[in-house]
Amino acid sequence: MEIQVFFFGVLAEATKTAFKHYRGVTSFEELKMRIGDDFPEISHYNYRIAVNNELVYEDPVLKEGDEVAYMPPFAGG
Amino acid sequence: MEIQVFFFGVLAEATKTAFKHYRGVTSFEELKMRIGDDFPEISHYNYRIAVNNELVYEDPVLKEGDEVAYMPPFAGG
Amino acid sequence: MSYKILVNGPITRKIMSSILASLAKNTDAGGHSVFIGQVRADIRGAKRVRAIEYSAYEKMAETEAGKIKESILAEFNDVKSVEILHSVGIVMVGETSLFVLVSAGHRHHAIDACSRVVEMIKATLPVWKKEIFEDNSAMWKENSLD
Amino acid sequence: MSYKILVNGPITRKIMSSILASLAKNTDAGGHSVFIGQVRADIRGAKRVRAIEYSAYEKMAETEAGKIKESILAEFNDVKSVEILHSVGIVMVGETSLFVLVSAGHRHHAIDACSRVVEMIKATLPVWKKEIFEDNSAMWKENSLD
């Protein structure tokens, strides 16, 4: 399936990438490994992951067209 | 001595008097008695007394020209 | 005394807007906490409030407001400024009768200090209010603890 | 979604003033508590902040702001309305980046709910900030607990 991945804040800067399509994704776990291979620098940062605007606390079941966001600690206000 | 007495809020309405001069005042206690005689209706209300913009908690020593204020419970805001 | 808290009639949007315009001057402030009190269309039995008439012991109110300001600045050293405006005279339903603004370096101090100022105003400002109903009858009102 | 919290650039006095103008419509509101967050000229070592650049996960920020609003209205039944505005993009020192307004029947509810909204914004809105210094260098910043 095809998944859209977004990086925010310092992660967008570190990866030099705000947005990347992943095709042929088989699972969330597999997607995370591909992202880790493409952007090893993200391992130096704290982040949380959201799928379709919702924080995930364990690996979710992905479906075609889902949005996955890598988000550093929030800093609004 | 001469003392200026002010009534505020519901007390001004009840006494129909916002302001009254008292002459020949000898003490705070004597002033309070004269005010009580002139305006017996104030005994029906809760109030606090200020002398020269300061709340008094016991009978103060008055001096010429002091301002005495009869104030119902505050209701600002 | 140049410090003047009492405003004749409602505290207008123009007044509030000009205070907001001055905020940017405080470049060491990170948070401003504002409280705006307005006249509510309360129902008392069969009557509805249409206005409140405020009166004050004006000299003492100015003195007490100065004391509130000093005490807040002494207690919160992160607080940069405290503004208080209170109406005297008639204020209609929906209009503003109280405006408090506290500027501080950090948000918690602004919020806590502003809340404290509002409580001190209720407790210590010599101000009285009479609710005026739609039938033009009126009733003196004391502050509740709500 | 018609509910829109993100504003490009600073939250101007004009925006705040037009929100204040709408308060009088709430005739059952007695108190409005407002929090205004602005960019502070902080010093980091030898550098002074001149602006903050905010970025956001916009869709999620709108969703989360809606959740904050719903949760406050559910928790405080005296709260009549909750307004949240947050900047994205560049906001200079002294300019406003956050505006929260809570209207309630009674002051305590307005003040408590507004304070809660500000905490929830810091905790749950997917917004990030980068401090930009006078020498144009920059540093990503996380929220502290102050």
Task: Give the domain range for residue B22.
Answer: 3-71
**CB-based contacts of B48, cutoff 8 Å, min separation 6:** B55, B71, B73
pLDDT digits (tens, 9 = 90+) for A30-54: 999 999 999 999 999 999 999 999 9
Distances in Å between the Cα of B56 and the Cα atoms of A17, B37, B60, C99 are 71, 21, 7, 29
Domain-embedded: residue A77: no
Is residue B58 domain-resident? yes
What are the C-alpha distances in Å from C103 to residues C19, C66, D5? 12, 16, 23
Residue B16 covered by a domain: yes
Nearest CA to D123 out of A52, C105, C106, A48 is that of: A48
Domain, as residue range, for C62: 6-141
Residue D41 lies in a domain: yes
- Assess whether pLDDT exceeds 70 at residue D146: no
Closest approach of chain C CAs to the CA of D96, in angstroms? 8
Q: Under an 8 A CB cutoff, do B76 and C129 touch? A: yes
CA distance D27 to chain A (A): 30
User: Cα D7 to chain center, whole Å?
Assistant: 10
Does residue B15 carry a pLDDT above 80? yes
Average pLDDT, chain D: 94
Residue C2: predicted pLDDT? 43
pLDDT by residue (tens digit) across C96-127? 999 999 999 999 999 999 999 999 999 999 99
Q: What is the DSSP string of chain D?
A: -----EEES---HHHHHHHHHTGGG-TT--EEEEEEEE----EETTEEEEEEEEEE-HHHHHHHHHHHHHHHHHH-TTEEEEEEEEEEEEEETTSEEEEEEEEESSHHHHHHHHHHHHHHHHHH--EEEEEEETTS-EEEE-----
Give me the pLDDT at residue D1, please: 38
Residue B15 · residue B7 · CB < 8 Å: yes
What is residue C5's predicted lDDT score, i.e. its pLDDT? Answer: 96
Does the structure show a pLDDT above 50 at C1?
no
Neighbouring chains to A with at least 3 Cβ pairs closer than 8 Å: D
* Overall average pLDDT of the B11-27 stretch: 97
Q: What is the pLDDT of residue C3?
A: 54
Beta-bridged to residue D98, according to DSSP, are: D37, D86
Q: Tens digits of per-residue pLDDT, C15-30?
A: 999 999 899 898 999 9
Overall number of domains in chain D: 1
- If pLDDT is split at 50, 70 and 90, which confidence band does D2 have? very low
| C144 confidence band (pLDDT: 50, 70, 90) | low
pLDDT, tens digit (0-9, with 9 covering 90-100), for C33-83: 999 999 999 999 999 999 999 999 999 999 999 999 999 999 999 999 999
As a whole number, mean pLDDT of residues D91-116 equals 97
Q: Is B72 on the interface with C (CB under 8 A)?
A: yes
Instruction: Confirm whether C1 is domain-assigned.
Output: no
| pLDDT recorded at residue D143 | 76
Nearest CA in chain D to C29: D40
Total count of domains within chain B = 1
Say if C76 falls within a structural domain: yes
- Please give the pLDDT value at position D3: 54
The whole-number pLDDT of residue B43 equals 96
Which pLDDT score is estimated for A77?
87
Chains B, C: CB pairs < 8 Å: 69
Per-residue pLDDT at D55: 97
> What is the value of pTM for the model shown?
0.94
Per-residue pLDDT band for D144 (boundaries 50, 70, 90) equals: low
Average pLDDT over residues B31-53: 97
**pLDDT, tens only, D32-60:** 999 999 999 999 999 999 999 999 999 99
Whether A60 is covered by a domain: the verdict is yes
Averaged pLDDT for residues D99-123: 97
Average pLDDT over residues D93-114: 97
Query: At B19, which CATH number?
Result: 3.10.20.30
Does the distance separating the beta carbons of A69 and D57 come in below 8 Å? yes
pLDDT of residue C142: 83
Residue contacts between C and D (CB atoms, under 8 Å): 115
- Asked if residue C126 is part of any domain, the answer here is yes
**Position B54 in a domain:** yes
- What CATH code is carried by the domain that includes residue C72? 3.90.1170.40
Domain assignment present for residue D146? The answer is: no
Q: Are D32 and C38 in contact (CB under 8 A)?
A: yes
Give the ipTM of the model, two decimals please.
0.93
CB pair distance less than 8 Å for D122 and A73:
no
Residue D44: inside a domain: yes
